[in-house]
Structure 1
């Protein structure tokens, strides 16, 4: 068989290197700093040269899979990722929860978000940000389970074996407030089960607080987590019980009843 001039010769595995690199860049950005990643950071994380990374990111930006901040030149995940998430298996949950998130955001003046389980982790798939706020978007990013209210809300209701597996590796101390001892976390998870919601105060990033509740149907493991989060000056300890009641009610609404 004679190949046509210029025909692409795919590797025997059938994989396309440029596609793998583009996916790798998006994963690196999703797992990177909250403020976004530079070309150099994303390229280094993927082990590719910066010129190649620049061309791939320019293409992804044009299709809105990544967004570039005009001031810092840092890249974050774009809104097209959310569109894909809506067409995946979590589509029904996102569509059901979006009006709930909108109401929570309107009620509280804070960001309301939805995260779903992903391989003993969580990923944000939808959020509503008040028009008056300028904040980093978390859609497409994975959640640190032990250092966020969303992560702890899920851990509290997992089967014991899954919880142990999720906490088996050494736990990163993101800030001085992060709980990194298993005994501390187990006690907190018991409190979460009693209260019906979880809190985190500056445990992933200093000054950022969140309150979350797991979406559970018929006493099963969580299918998602609803959160309200923002800076500590707007979400001090005194608001935790108020916001906790709101997210717990929202989580029950998301399954169409009490969730019992």
Structure 2
């Protein structure tokens, strides 16, 4: 069984006024933690610690979620996984929110053309989430970012591209909020990230020159909704000697080309949704 990384603590859930609303907020936060547990699942003690709740409370919420088929418990390992209802809901949501559905073809094409690893990153408040990772055929790969990994805002080429696509005050506020987590991940990284962000705004693509893992470089380009907000980012990760300046120019052109294609698919989706509403 593949060992899943320990889940990041859930974002603090505001205390709702009513007890019922509080239970719903806690259950949804718990469901998110179970989802981040990956294929290995998570045990009751792990979930209680990550959620900041007592074991009896977590057990009660898990029973309610299991009754709705939102989670299930492996009878052998006693660990919890997402249930079949979450898969069904995910298929319903894919056409509206499924950027991966619209980006996969571009990712496959980039991996085939470059031979390197292609990543799709989406924003999650002061974090980013790696939705997918597709590897090319070059035998030496970087493993700094894997599918399902969450990183603080700005950490990694895709995350940096997302920040650069935001209005400056909003991006600066996210960086400030994420600063303690960035410092824990890589002490002294914040000043370098500020410089990298300025360059990304100026050039239109974000470069991570091995800031977190030496020798592991990345180049990222944002995918924008029609209103200019970032929907996600495509990035290419490779070892340092495959990221020379001349090749970066080629990779950036390919990333921009595919990002624009994904944007056109998202724009067509928005148009169709408006027609359906009308």
Give the TM bin, normalised by the shorter chain: 0.5 to 0.7
CA contact (8 A) 2:117 2:136 kept: no
CA contact (8 A) 2:106 2:258 kept: yes
2:242 is aligned, of 239, 243, 247, to 239
Q: 1:206–1:222: structure 2 CA closer, same or farther, 3 Å change rule?
A: same
CA contact (8 A) 2:215 2:240 kept: no
Aligned match of 2:111:
105
Of Structure 1 and Structure 2, which has the larger fraction of its residues in helix? 2
Q: Deviations over 1:119-164 (max 9, x none)?
A: 455344x4254599999531xx644112221221111121111122
Aligned match of 1:4:
none
Equivalent-residue separation in structure 1 for 2:228 and 2:111 (angstroms):
27
Q: 1:95–1:58: structure 2 CA closer, same or farther, 3 Å change rule?
A: same
Equivalent-residue separation in structure 1 for 2:199 and 2:35 (angstroms):
31
1:42 counterpart = 2:47: yes
Measured after TM superposition, the shift of residue 214 of structure 1 is: 0.6
Which secondary structure state, in structure 1, belongs to the residue aligned with residue 183 of structure 2? Answer: coil
1:179 is aligned, of 161, 164, 189, to 189
Aligned match of 1:232:
none
Measured after TM superposition, the shift of residue 83 of structure 1 is: 6.0
Which secondary structure state, in structure 1, belongs to the residue aligned with residue 264 of structure 2? Answer: coil
After the TM superposition, which residues 88-99 of structure 1 pair with which residues of structure 2 at under 5 Å, given as runs?
90-91=96-97, 93-99=99-105
Aligned match of 1:192:
200
Aligned match of 1:137:
147
TM norm structure 1: 0.63
After the TM superposition, which residues 4-153 of structure 1 pair with which residues of structure 2 at under 5 Å, given as runs?
14-15=20-21, 17=23, 20-28=25-33, 39-50=44-55, 53=58, 56=62, 80=86, 84=90, 87=93, 90-91=96-97, 93-119=99-125, 121-124=127-130, 126-130=131-135, 136-138=146-148, 142-153=150-161
Which secondary structure state, in structure 1, belongs to the residue aligned with residue 49 of structure 2? Answer: helix
Q: Which moved more, 1:204-213 or 1:93-102?
A: 204-213
Q: Which moved more, 1:142-151 or 1:89-98?
A: 89-98
Q: Which moved more, 1:36-45 or 1:128-137?
A: 128-137
CA contact (8 A) 1:29 1:75 kept: yes
Equivalent-residue separation in structure 1 for 2:102 and 2:167 (angstroms):
26
How many residues are treated as equivalent by the alignment? Answer: 233
Aligned match of 2:219:
211
Q: 1:49–1:150: structure 2 CA closer, same or farther, 3 Å change rule?
A: same
CA contact (8 A) 1:175 1:206 kept: no
Q: Deviations over 1:100-125 (max 9, x none)?
A: 1222234445553333334455344x
Q: 1:90–1:66: structure 2 CA closer, same or farther, 3 Å change rule?
A: farther
Which secondary structure state, in structure 1, belongs to the residue aligned with residue 176 of structure 2? Answer: coil
TM norm structure 2: 0.60
RMSD: 4.8
Equivalent-residue separation in structure 2 for 1:215 and 1:187 (angstroms):
22
CA contact (8 A) 2:158 2:235 kept: yes
Aligned match of 2:4:
none
